[in-house]
Amino acid sequence: MTSEERRECFVYVTPPGSPDFVTAGRFELSGDSAGDARGRFVYGASYLARPDAVPLDPVELTLREGTFETRRLKGVFGAIRDASPDFWGRRVIEKHSGFPSLGEMDYLLLSPDDRAGALGFGTGKTPPSPLRRFNRTLDLEKLQTLADAILADLPSPATPSDLARVEDLLLVGTSMGGARPKAVVEDEEGLWIAKFNHPEDRWNQARVEHAMLELARRWVDLFEPFAAIVAPSPVCVAHVRQEMPRLLAAEPEWQRRAEAVAARTYELSEYLVDVLGVTRDTMGAQFDGTIAYQPACQQLRMVRNDDQARALLAEIEGAQLKPLADAESCCGFGGLFSARMPQLADAMAERKARAIEASGAQVVVTGETGCVLHMAGALERRGSACRAVHLAELLAGLAAAPEFEPKG
């Protein structure tokens, strides 16, 4: 069977607030004399009359009468292509179907009825009843073995008794998108997406994700007894506040505990100003020299507490704050970014070092430890007299001004 035998299908959608599919319209895929694919779509009159009707695409497929046409993406409208299986789903469908050649229409129609996303496809005007093919008992190791065979285009290693169940289970994961092998599994708590390792992975993805969750739970356990957790790193605070609860979202009790601990986690300057109410009299910080302030990206964009750091700098006795050009641009650290793209990271650090020298400051201050090291390296490579220090070092009196004048 090929796409030559399948030229049109009905498109089903789940309206907002509804658990059931309704028929939105009809999609037709054809080719012209030059062999170029052309797609047409028309909304059904009954769908347009529904008060809860929504457009499949507010730009390309607006909610109106008439026929829409496209030659882009092999004649498949963007919203429809987005609902079509990606790399992994297509490999499973190709293995599952047994047909020598498949076209775009085949991939749409061979996708499962129980699918992720809001669109479904079929040959009948009325949407079919969804099938419950989620497996409760099949060993995940068998799924991983079959996934490896599909990616390597090898015969299935499953026994005949297991083969149908395994392939059905994998087929339900074909609409999840992306290139990674995956399936939908079910237990007493509900439905889950099981992602499997890929033979070309540089490391064991499943093991890394498992370790990440274990570390998140361990972190919550360790810091839960404390009334306040203070970190000299906006990156860490942003992770605890925003990412930790998301990581544990599948475990409601752990998520609740993570959110409670996150609410008591503070970035250093935030804790000093907003919680302790530190002033010049209570802080007692001194620095005889000129300073420039480089806000950390996560402090500006994730934690959003840049005002507190600036307030503390203004209270340091003897310090002269110099304006830093383009201070809100990244210094190039970016965590793993600087390790994965060192040339780009070094170029960004070089540009930042030139701006720091142009400011005339003897010391550049930031609240992120990684940024301190990254800027310090760039300044040292340039032979600059300016030093990079952490805000905590400056407040603690551990950062003396250089004895000689900086460049510029």
Instruction: Residue 231: count other Cβ atoms within 10 Å of its Cβ.
Output: 20
Query: What pLDDT, on a 0 to 100 scale, did the predictor assign at position 289?
Result: 93
- Asked whether the predicted pLDDT for residue 99 surpasses 50, the reply is yes
Closest CA relative to residue 172, chosen from 82, 99, 83, 93: 93
Pure H helices in 174-326 = 205-223, 234-238, 244-247, 252-262, 268-270, 280-283, 297-298, 306-314
**Mind listing the pLDDT tens digit for each residue in 286-326?**
999 999 999 999 998 888 888 999 999 999 999 999 999 99
Tokens for 338?
Answer: 């600087």
Task: Give the residues across from 266 on adjacent strands.
Answer: 230
Mean pLDDT of 194-222: 83
How is the chain split into domains, by residue range? 3-122, 212-270, 281-395
Residue predicted with more confidence, 386 or 85: 386
The rounded distance, in Å, linking the Cα atoms of 211 and 259 is 20
Pairing of strands 229-231, 265-267: parallel
User: Do residues 269 and 395 touch, judged by C-beta distance below 8 A?
Assistant: no
- For 278, left (φ over 0), alpha (ψ -120 to 50), or beta? beta
Measuring CA to CA, how many Å separate 335 from each of 61, 155, 369? 41, 42, 11
User: Do residues 166 and 158 touch, judged by C-beta distance below 8 A?
Assistant: yes
Mean pLDDT of 345-359: 95
CA dihedral (259, 264, 269, 275) positive or negative:
positive
Please list, in sequence order, all residues whose beta carbon lies within 8 angstroms of the beta carbon of residue 92, skipping any fewer than 6 positions away: 85, 150, 167, 170, 171, 173, 174
What architecture (CATH level 2) is domain 281-395?
Answer: 3-Layer(aba) Sandwich (3.40)
Query: What pLDDT, on a 0 to 100 scale, did the predictor assign at position 182?
Result: 67
Of the pLDDT bands very low, low, confident and very high (cuts 50, 70, 90), residue 39 is very high
- Asked whether the predicted pLDDT for residue 387 surpasses 90, the reply is yes
Query: What pLDDT, on a 0 to 100 scale, did the predictor assign at position 2?
Result: 45
**Mind listing the pLDDT tens digit for each residue in 64-92?**
999 999 998 889 999 998 888 777 677 77
Tokens for 274?
Answer: 């907003």
Task: Give the residues across from 122 on adjacent strands.
Answer: 10
What is the average pLDDT value for the chain, to the nearest integer? Answer: 83
- Residue 231, H or E segment: strand 229-231
State the pTM of this model: 0.60
Of the pLDDT bands very low, low, confident and very high (cuts 50, 70, 90), residue 137 is very low
